[in-house]
Amino acid sequence: MTQLPFDKSAKLSCRGPFPVARRPRLARRFFHGALISLLATASAIAVTYPVSVARAQTAPVEPSALAVALEAHSENGASLLLPLVSESVNVRIDDGHASASYRHVFQNESAARLEGNYRLQVGEGATATGFAYYDGEEKIVGEIFERDAAQQVYDALTGLRRDPGLLEQAGEGGFSFHVFPIEPGEKKRVEVTTSRFLPRRGQEIEYRLRLGRPDANVVLTVRDGRGVQGLDSPSHDLRTERGADGAWIATVLKAKTTTADELVVRYETQEAPLVLHATIHHDPGQSAFFTATLAAQPQPPGRVRSGNDVTLVLDRSGSMEGPSIESARAAAKAIVQRLLPTDRVNVIAFDDGVDALYAAPQLVTDAVRRESIEYIGRIEAGGGTDIAKALAKALSSQVHDDHPDVVLFMTDGQSAGPPAIKVATDDKGDARVFTVGIGTGVDKALLSRIASIRRGRFTFVADPRAVAVEFPKVLSQLEDPVLTEMTLRAEGGTIERLYPETLGDLFPADELRVFGRTSAAGPFKIVLEARDHGTPRTFVAQVDASAPSDEPWVARSWARARVDDLLEQVSAKGENEELKGEAVDLGLAFGLVTPYTSFLAVPESALTEEAKNAVGNMRERRKRILATRTDAAALSRLNMPPGDPILRVHAPADSKRVTAVFPFGLTQDLAYDAMSESWMTRFLVPKDVADGTYEVRTVIELADGRVNVAMVRYTIDSRAPEVDVDTRVSGDGVDVRVLCDEPALEVRVASDGNARSSLSLSGDAERRTFKGHIALAPGSHRIRVVVADAARNESERTIDVDVTPRGPEGLR
């Protein structure tokens, strides 16, 4: 039994795929098969380590602080950073979206065979969309799979000393990849492609890239439908030219200063402020994807804003110790320094307890300003993290008057999601909450949700030392919003599945960015309605869904936005199969690394028979998902005995009617379910329906009168699988092999009904052969084998076995 109270540590364990769990594989690996002696390896590393560091960077650096690193381990547990001997990055920027392709080459300069962990930190909102590594000269290309299944294959193969590559998400905007072996002298090449949107302030769009080498080969190609001007870099010399298709091509030459380890490239769009811009991607036969953006200019310098009630909430939990708390204190002090005499201020520090400087925000007199800064300076890290309690305190201590209430909430941690969301939802005041997440371990989904509920914004700061860089963005949130009450609609077509679902308000230097689908087949208008300081305003973008359009990044970004939305729901409500299932499907269909999906790269020659089957099954699953995403309807269970499946149909919310015609004489209207954004009904299959495959016909009457028809197939199966069981006494128990005449969902084996001596093997849509080992004490046993098929029909076999004790030489 595992009880999961909602505290910080338990949350990490219950959320399963979110933390990157690692097995202590190294010791086992070296104990079982090291090629060289412990002493020789230790000596070699002792010699090569300083050389490696000297080549890779000028001073010892924590690996986690690097944008890219390959940290290798030796048998004695020592770790070293392998030198990065080559780095090239190709970046394509389309309408502010960056697709980057990284190629990194590391070298093992030691005389030891090593195991390494590659890490790449890209930035907020980044998604890995491709992965490959080289095993010698052979390029092994990664495939996207469900994370748990990929991990199982990975584990099975690493036990055989044949490591595949498994690229996983490692915190916000970061990715990691375990690699083994790295032979002595070997150059290990890794390729990763990523996707993310770039931050925009007014008309300025900025791309930042932390470099692993000063001589990195970096080329950027920039296209923007809004026009490109002033493409330049404050950090590096660039050579710019126009390509044949009109795109700007910028080649990075050299750093302008010797200390510049970050490339910064900026350009400005040529559109006027507050213009709605849309980009569309359309695959034949599919509803189109679109993204719409609208940016507000920064406030002009010298403009005096009206007074706010500003409550600074600082996380002082133990994890903030070090640069995080120092940066947060510095940022908070700077904010207090910049407050106006017409503002009010309060400071709240929290861990698992909450302390406030004042009972309510106080007018910023000199004394209050001084007290606040002194109070911030005394905040020390220690304790747990209870976001809900801190948020409740901040919201309940507001003064309800004409002053706009603003809460700036800075944290680096994770906390129970549901209670924090409840606090954010239940408070009836009008305080806006702006959340600032510091470091890659932050729960972005939770902080984004809180900010969204409280009409604020979430700001992510990957490197605690970079809080100052993000400081202007945080300060701009004290300004009055430029647009409020924003809603999006379409004219001449319908738009659906819009993310984020709540548009919030637009602040100075802020950008609205939404993603949606449309079933429009021709020209239509995307219309944004909003209020500009109380005055209604309308913004229109004209798009043509019939025009040739190939911007796959739009489709991928839509999928990513939906995954983010699902992760926010998981954070708010806890994980469930429905949310997880959709996130997995989207990750697999669009090739995205998410907390639930990973890239697995494995040479076919390294696959065992079992791993080959598992990979085949995962490929088949992805194929099925890709196929089903073109369908309109789905059943919660495809193989079933009489029961109560749910029928879901993805159709526009404003459809007039969705009706399902079942093959056994039942016709049922579906109802729209806002939570799953689908039309749903449930039904029972009568118990006298014969086994076989059936189809449900669903008729969708759209708002404009058009009618679509979709079919979903399901199988009634009441027959238990035929099963053959072989057993062979082996080692400390019995090897069990089960052959089924149909794919099995699960095979379980127990001795004498004793759950403590049992074995459970998971199946899937294809697996018919199962092998396992059950440990048994010497003596006679009766083992029971139970096999369940996809419809949960069960077969059972009981077998008597006699386990003979081993002799002293391991002979029976």
Partner 1 sequence: MIARWLAYLALLVGLTVVRTAQADAGPGGRFVRTLTVYGGHLWVGTFNDGLFVADAWSTPEELENAGQVPAPFRMVNDALEVNGRLYVAANEGLFVTRDGVAFERVREVGARGVTGIAFDGRSLFATTTSALWRVHVSLGAPSSAVWWKPAGSRSLQGVVAEGGRVWLASEDRGAILFDGKRFSAFDRLAGLPTSWAVAVAGDGQGGVFEATLRDGAFHVDAAGHWKPLQGLPSPWTLTIARGEREVCVGTQEGAACYDSPSAAPATIWDAPSSRIEGLPDPRVHVLLAAAGSLLVGTEAGAAFVTRNREFTVSAQ
**Of 119, 102, 133, 26, residue with least CA distance to 66:** 119
How far is the C-alpha of 528 from the C-alpha of 540, rounded, in Å? 6
The CA–CA distances, whole Å, from 276 to 80, 279, 538, 553 equal 50, 10, 10, 19
Instruction: Provide the 3-class DSSP secondary structure of residue 178.
Output: strand
Q: Near partner 1 by CB under 8 A, which window of 201-209, 472-480, 596-604, 678-686?
A: 678-686
Exposure of 654 by Cβ count < 10 A (0-12 exposed, 13-18 middle, 19+ buried)? exposed
Nearer to partner 1 by C-beta: 14 or 702? 14
Exposure of 3 by Cβ count < 10 A (0-12 exposed, 13-18 middle, 19+ buried)? exposed
How far is the C-alpha of 666 from the C-alpha of 643, rounded, in Å? 15
Q: Would you give the binding string for partner 1 spanning residues 44-83, x where CB under 8 A is met?
A: ----------------------------------------
On the question of a cis peptide bond just before residue 60, with omega within 30 degrees of 0, the verdict is no
Q: How far is the CB of 727 from partner 1 (least distance, A)?
A: 16
Position among 214, 641, 743, 772 found at the interface with partner 1 (CB under 8 A):
641
Q: Near partner 1 by CB under 8 A, which window of 231-239, 571-579, 583-591, 610-618?
A: 571-579
492 binds partner 1 (CB under 8 A): no
Position among 600, 710, 723, 788 found at the interface with partner 1 (CB under 8 A):
788
Nearer to partner 1 by C-beta: 82 or 658? 658
Q: Near partner 1 by CB under 8 A, which window of 3-11, 174-182, 299-307, 511-519?
A: 3-11
Q: Would you give the binding string for partner 1 spanning residues 407-426, x where CB under 8 A is met?
A: -----------x--xx----
Q: Near partner 1 by CB under 8 A, which window of 143-151, 307-315, 388-396, 567-575?
A: 567-575
Map tokens 């082996």 to a residue: 730
How far is the C-alpha of 576 from the C-alpha of 15, rounded, in Å? 10
Q: How far is the CB of 2 from partner 1 (least distance, A)?
A: 7
Measured from the Cβ of residue 656, the count of other Cβ atoms closer than 10 Å reads 12
Exposure of 59 by Cβ count < 10 A (0-12 exposed, 13-18 middle, 19+ buried)? exposed
Q: How far is the CB of 555 from partner 1 (least distance, A)?
A: 28
Nearer to partner 1 by C-beta: 323 or 641? 641
Residues numbered 572-631 forming contacts with partner 1, rule: CB under 8 A? 572-578
Instruction: Provide the 3-class DSSP secondary structure of residue 666.
Output: coil
Nearer to partner 1 by C-beta: 134 or 672? 672
How far is the C-alpha of 762 from the C-alpha of 770, rounded, in Å? 9
Nearer to partner 1 by C-beta: 189 or 648? 648
How far is the C-alpha of 542 from the C-alpha of 524, rounded, in Å? 6
Nearer to partner 1 by C-beta: 469 or 675? 675
Map tokens 């890209």 to a residue: 122
CA 478, 481, 485, 488 dihedral sign is negative
Instruction: Provide the 3-class DSSP secondary structure of residue 553.
Output: helix
Q: How far is the CB of 385 from partner 1 (least distance, A)?
A: 18
Q: How far is the CB of 678 from partner 1 (least distance, A)?
A: 12
What is the helix (H) or strand (E) element at residue 40, kind and residue range? helix 38-56
Q: How far is the CB of 671 from partner 1 (least distance, A)?
A: 6
684 binds partner 1 (CB under 8 A): yes
Nearer to partner 1 by C-beta: 32 or 756? 756
Q: How far is the CB of 569 from partner 1 (least distance, A)?
A: 9
Q: How far is the CB of 418 from partner 1 (least distance, A)?
A: 5
3 binds partner 1 (CB under 8 A): yes
Nearer to partner 1 by C-beta: 384 or 574? 574
Position among 400, 687, 706, 737 found at the interface with partner 1 (CB under 8 A):
687
5 binds partner 1 (CB under 8 A): yes
Instruction: Provide the 3-class DSSP secondary structure of residue 157.
Output: helix
Number of residues interacting with partner 1: please give it, by CB under 8 A: 44
Nearer to partner 1 by C-beta: 603 or 642? 642
Q: Would you give the binding string for partner 1 spanning residues 364-403, x where CB under 8 A is met?
A: ----------------------------------------
CA 105, 109, 111, 117 dihedral sign is negative
Task: Order the strands of the 165-169 sheet from edge to edge.
Answer: 79-81, 68-73, 114-121, 174-182, 165-169, 597-601, 143-146
19 binds partner 1 (CB under 8 A): no
Nearer to partner 1 by C-beta: 374 or 722? 722
CB 336 within 8 A of CB 345: yes
Position among 2, 257, 258, 804 found at the interface with partner 1 (CB under 8 A):
2
Task: Order the strands of the 277-281 sheet from edge to edge.
Answer: 277-281, 288-295, 511-518, 495-499
CB 119 within 8 A of CB 174: yes
Q: How far is the CB of 5 from partner 1 (least distance, A)?
A: 6
How far is the C-alpha of 70 from the C-alpha of 6, rounded, in Å? 35
Instruction: Provide the 3-class DSSP secondary structure of residue 744.
Output: strand
**Of 315, 338, 560, residue with least CA distance to 439:** 315
Q: Near partner 1 by CB under 8 A, which window of 66-74, 190-198, 309-317, 791-799?
A: 791-799
Measured from the Cβ of residue 379, the count of other Cβ atoms closer than 10 Å reads 18
Residues numbered 753-782 forming contacts with partner 1, rule: CB under 8 A? 753, 755, 758, 760
Position among 251, 299, 668, 708 found at the interface with partner 1 (CB under 8 A):
668
How far is the C-alpha of 767 from the C-alpha of 792, rounded, in Å? 15
Position among 321, 673, 701, 735 found at the interface with partner 1 (CB under 8 A):
673
Q: Near partner 1 by CB under 8 A, which window of 155-163, 300-308, 441-449, 674-682?
A: 674-682
Q: Are strands 187-197 and 127-135 parallel, antiparallel or unpaired?
A: antiparallel
How far is the C-alpha of 355 from the C-alpha of 364, rounded, in Å? 19
Nearer to partner 1 by C-beta: 3 or 605? 3
Instruction: Provide the 3-class DSSP secondary structure of residue 582.
Output: helix
Position among 6, 134, 358, 694 found at the interface with partner 1 (CB under 8 A):
6
Q: Helix and strand tally (H, E) in the chain? A: 13, 49
Outline where 549-635 has alpha helix (H): 552-573, 577-590, 609-628
Nearer to partner 1 by C-beta: 138 or 426? 426
Residues numbered 187-226 forming contacts with partner 1, rule: CB under 8 A? none
794 binds partner 1 (CB under 8 A): yes
9 binds partner 1 (CB under 8 A): no
Which residue type sits at 54? Answer: A
CB 407 within 8 A of CB 394: yes
Nearer to partner 1 by C-beta: 478 or 633? 633
Nearer to partner 1 by C-beta: 532 or 644? 644
741 binds partner 1 (CB under 8 A): no
Nearer to partner 1 by C-beta: 143 or 578? 578
Q: How far is the CB of 375 from partner 1 (least distance, A)?
A: 33
Strand pairing partners for 762?
A: 746
CB 83 within 8 A of CB 70: no
Position among 626, 675, 709, 711 found at the interface with partner 1 (CB under 8 A):
675
786 binds partner 1 (CB under 8 A): yes
Position among 53, 646, 653, 702 found at the interface with partner 1 (CB under 8 A):
646
Q: Which residues contact 8 (CB under 8 A, 6 or more apart)?
A: 384, 385, 413, 414, 415, 416
Query: Using CB under 8 A as the criterion, which residues of the chain lie in contact with partner 1 when the complex forms?
Result: 1-6, 14, 418, 421-422, 572-578, 641-644, 646, 668, 671, 673, 675, 681-684, 687, 746, 748, 750, 753, 755, 758, 760, 784, 786, 788, 792, 794, 796
